């Protein structure tokens, strides 16, 4: 391989290629994506999915989808279904689908084996006592008074734990490693706890449940995973991951070579949160309408907003694979979405905040049908848009007292109506409260479909729709869900809820060009000069609903910001 090629590999690809060359896993690559079914997937999971499935695809081995369902009280079938749908939507197919709960018996057998090897014991300390005995980084740990129970006693107690003889929290099974290890994770970690709870798949068959640190390596090994990729916070757990698997000294449980864990930086994105637990709170407390609220960083929220899987994958690619945690600006996701939609979406005219325009020198009933291209790529066809005496333009395109460099409508100013003609604002009509309610304008018929024959120029081009033909639609304008980059970074005593953006949703009644009247749920358009919009699932014929997927960059906002 040339230098240039090897440089373009991320560090995980380098590891995988190294292993393929050395034949470490017999030339095999098998990765897994292991979500806990306790919520909907978010954009951080998308990063992990693209990484794991990407490696599986690139090196021909595939990727398992494994539901890490070892925590019975938080897991539900609804989440399992949504996770499968989201992985498929992102464009990936798993090699096999498993549940950690499929391995409850094997995990139990292996735990029993560890007991017989003197490597695990039943401990009766309370949670609080366990913490105290374990010490901390500065305080050495003390052995539990139950650490030297005989194998026979441990086996008996473990069997009785499983049989349901003991109450929640009264006993645990612990690995017997090193009460004084520098790495806290090795100070006799918990393997099993008692939890008399109904499990979404195994029902009431079990009342003891394995801990993540025990279940995860064992599940990986059972499936023959080669590269087990997780986020950086598990780096300190790696010695434990290896320890459990290495205790299979007689190779009775797992095939060699054993899976290896590798860590990468988790994805954080500004103005949102990447935690199913917290996202669940947003849903439960009604700060959003559901897991698929378009303001949510969930894949179902992004999908509903109109984002495509290609845009999410491009974003994941752009973020790259790093070994140090960093926060990515939400603007980068917006950019990936915009780039993807640019080529994909046909253009339409839609006036978000309609302001009435009367073209006084155009006769009542005089309609010019103007042919407009659907996209700058010729090939994409055209459609006809009516132009008549009654129009709408956007309120944001009018300034009664124009600022410097304002090239849009203002008293006396002339602009171009996109595809139609030059239009001059002659008179401003206000209501009793002083609000501008109508612009009386004149058009120059000589400019129909082109430039002025006398050579005069206008700088501003506005979008518009015929008021008589306009289709009304509800348009949901979404903004950032939080007002600060890191909503969780609140001062002592503060509440992250205080950083929710009260203006994250603005619902307006827009006026659309008539060709949009037939738009179907899921269809996407660029509304010229405004942004990308998708028809919402709530939309019905005669009661259209559009979501703003992402705005276009507003050139005036930039001019203003510089001033």
Residues of the shown chain interacting with ligand ATP in the complex, contacts defined by CB under 6 A: 34-36, 44-45, 47-48, 68, 230-231, 266-267, 274-277
Number of residues that bind Mg ion (CB under 5 A): 1
Q: Which is nearer to Mg ion, 39 or 487 (CB)?
A: 39
Which one of the listed residues 28, 32, 36, 408 is annotated catalytic? 36
Q: What is the distance, to the nearest Å, from the Cα of residue 383 to the centroid of all Cα atoms in its chain? A: 35
Q: Which does 231 bind (CB under 5 to 8 A by kind): ligand ATP, Mg ion, none?
A: ligand ATP
Burial class (CB in 10 A: 0-12, 13-18, 19+), 268: middle
Q: Which is nearer to ligand ATP, 238 or 469 (CB)?
A: 238
User: Which residues are bridge partners to 264 per DSSP?
Assistant: 231
Q: Which is nearer to ligand ATP, 202 or 231 (CB)?
A: 231
Taking the complex as a whole, how short is the minimal distance between the CB of residue 86 and ligand ATP, in angstroms? 12
Q: Which is nearer to ligand ATP, 267 or 409 (CB)?
A: 267
Tell me which stretch binds Mg ion (CB under 5 A): 34-42, 356-364, 381-389, 481-489.
34-42
Distance CA 77, CA 300 (A): 16
Residue with structure tokens 């990729």?
229
Taking the complex as a whole, how short is the minimal distance between the CB of residue 48 and ligand ATP, in angstroms? 4
Q: Which is nearer to Mg ion, 69 or 188 (CB)?
A: 69
Is 400 among the residues known to form the active site? no
Residue with structure tokens 């002339």?
414
Tell me which stretch binds Mg ion (CB under 5 A): 31-39, 136-144, 265-273, 417-425.
31-39
Question: Nearest-CB residue to Mg ion?
Answer: 36
Angle in degrees, CA 298, 299, 302, rounded to 5: 90
Distance CA 461, CA 330 (A): 30
Distance CA 476, CA 289 (A): 13
Distance CA 393, CA 563 (A): 25
Which one of the listed residues 266, 383, 424, 440 is annotated catalytic? 266
Is 252 among the residues known to form the active site? no
Question: Nearest-CB residue to ligand ATP?
Answer: 44
Distance CA 519, CA 497 (A): 36
Distance CA 48, CA 35 (A): 10
Distance CA 27, CA 85 (A): 31
**Residue 238 CB neighbours (<10 A):** 18
Q: Which is nearer to ligand ATP, 44 or 210 (CB)?
A: 44
Q: Which does 226 bind (CB under 5 to 8 A by kind): ligand ATP, Mg ion, none?
A: none
Tell me which stretch binds Mg ion (CB under 5 A): 13-21, 28-36, 93-101, 211-219.
28-36
Q: Which does 461 bind (CB under 5 to 8 A by kind): ligand ATP, Mg ion, none?
A: none
Which long-range contacts (C-beta less than 8 Å, at least 24 apart) are formed by 109-113? 109/253, 110/218, 110/248, 110/253, 111/158, 111/173, 111/191, 111/192, 111/210, 111/214, 112/155, 112/158, 113/247, 113/248, 113/252, 113/253
Give the residue, chosen from 19, 36, 223, 536, that forms a contact with Mg ion under the rule CB under 5 A. 36
Which one of the listed residues 32, 134, 276, 416 is annotated catalytic? 276
Taking the complex as a whole, how short is the minimal distance between the CB of residue 379 and ligand ATP, in angstroms? 40
Is 366 among the residues known to form the active site? no
Which spans of this chain sit near Mg ion (rule: CB under 5 A)? 36
What residues are labeled active site? 36, 266, 276
């Amino acid at each position: 391989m040339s230098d240039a090629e090897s440089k373009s590999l991320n560090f995980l690809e380098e590891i995988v290629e190294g292993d393929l060359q050395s034949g470490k896993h017999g030339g095999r690559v098998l990765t897994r994506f292991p979500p806990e079914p306790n919520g909907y997937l978010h954009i951080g999971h998308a990063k992990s999915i693209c990484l794991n499935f990407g490696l599986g695809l690139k090196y021909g081995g595939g990727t398992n989808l494994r539901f890490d369902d070892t925590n019975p009280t938080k897991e539900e079938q609804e989440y399992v279904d949504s996770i499968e749908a989201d992985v498929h939507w992102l464009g990936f197919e798993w090699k096999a689908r498993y549940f950690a709960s499929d391995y409850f018996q094997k995990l139990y057998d292996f735990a029993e084996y560890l007991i017989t090897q003197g490597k695990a014991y039943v401990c009766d300390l309370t949670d609080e006592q366990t913490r105290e005995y374990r010490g901390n980084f500065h305080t050495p740990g003390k052995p539990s008074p139950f650490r030297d129970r005989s194998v026979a006693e441990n086996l008996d107690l473990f069997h009785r734990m499983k049989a349901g003889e003991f109450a929640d929290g009264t006993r645990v099974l612990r690995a017997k490693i090193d009460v004084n290890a520098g790495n806290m994770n090795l100070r006799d970690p918990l393997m099993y706890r008692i939890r008399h709870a109904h499990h979404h798949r195994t029902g009431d068959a079990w009342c003891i449940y394995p801990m993540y640190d025990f279940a995860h390596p064992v599940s990986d090994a059972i499936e023959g995973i080669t590269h087990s990729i997780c986020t950086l916070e598990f780096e300190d757990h790696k010695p434990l991951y290896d320890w459990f698997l290495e205790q299979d000294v007689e190779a009775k449980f797992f095939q060699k070579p054993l899976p290896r864990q590798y860590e990468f930086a988790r994805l954080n994105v500004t103005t949102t949160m990447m935690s199913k637990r917290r996202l669940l709170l947003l849903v439960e407390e009604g700060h959003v309408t559901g897991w698929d609220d378009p303001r949510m960083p969930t894949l179902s929220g992004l999908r509903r907003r109109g984002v495509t899987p290609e845009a999410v994958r491009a974003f994941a690619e752009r973020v790259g694979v790093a070994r140090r945690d960093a926060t990515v600006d939400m603007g980068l996701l917006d950019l990936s979405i915009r780039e993807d939609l640019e080529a994909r979406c046909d253009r339409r005219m839609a006036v978000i905040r309609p302001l009435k325009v009367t073209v006084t020198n155009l006769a009542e009933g005089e309609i010019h049908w103007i042919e407009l291209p659907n996209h700058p790529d010729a090939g994409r066809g055209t459609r006809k848009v009516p132009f008549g005496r009654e129009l709408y333009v956007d309120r944001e395109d009018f300034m009664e007292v124009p600022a410097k460099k304002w090239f849009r409508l203002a008293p006396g100013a002339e602009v171009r109506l996109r595809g139609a003609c030059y239009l001059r604002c002659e008179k401003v009509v206000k209501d009793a409260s002083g609000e501008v309610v109508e612009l009386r304008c004149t058009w120059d018929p000589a400019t129909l479909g082109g430039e002025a024959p006398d050579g005069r120029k206008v700088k501003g081009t506005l979008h518009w729709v015929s008021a008589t033909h306009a289709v009304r639609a509800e348009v949901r304008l979404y903004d950032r869900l939080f007002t600060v980059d890191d909503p969780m970074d609140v001062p002592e005593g503060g509440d992250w809820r205080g950083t929710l953006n009260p203006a994250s949703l603005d619902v307006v009644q827009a006026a659309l060009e008539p060709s949009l009247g037939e738009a179907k749920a899921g269809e996407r358009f660029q509304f010229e000069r405004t942004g990308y919009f998708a028809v919402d699932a709530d939309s019905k014929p005669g009661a259209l609903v559009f979501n703003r997927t992402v705005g276009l960059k507003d050139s005036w906002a930039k001019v203003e910001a510089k001033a």
